[in-house]
Homo-oligomer: A and B are copies of this chain.
Amino acid sequence: MKLRPLGDRVVIKRVEAEETTKGGIILTSTAQEKPQIAEVVAVGPGGIVNGKEVKMELKVGDKVLFPKYAGNEIKFEGTEYTVLNQGDVLAVIEE
């Protein structure tokens, strides 16, 4: 069972505290506040969204920065995710 986001939405999962990336780099987030670093776990099909063509630039596995409070937080099979529009993602972290 998996999530298939609609339109230009992506499903992301926050990177908890400290996590080693494939390239061996450590992503950290302050303990005091919720991390703004997340991994993309599902990507919508894009296409016509609100009457405007949207091309998806994110892909599953991308590490991204996103704004606090953006999108909708959901709990699915015991795990917390955030569902937000691709346009709300601030930047991709490239290794």
Contact = CB atoms under 8 A, between A and B. Distances in A.
Contacts of A4: 91-94
A13 interface: no
Copies of this chain per assembly? 7
Interface of A: 1-7, 9, 11, 21, 23, 25, 29-30, 36, 42, 48-53, 55, 57-58, 65, 67-68, 72, 74-76, 83, 86-87, 89-95
27 contacts: A1-B21, A1-B23, A1-B93, A2-B93, A3-B91, A3-B94, A4-B92, A4-B93, A5-B90, A5-B91, A6-B58, A6-B86, A6-B89, A6-B92, A30-B75, A48-B55, A49-B87, A50-B52, A50-B87, A51-B52, A51-B53, A65-B74, A65-B76, A67-B72, A68-B72, A74-B90, A83-B90
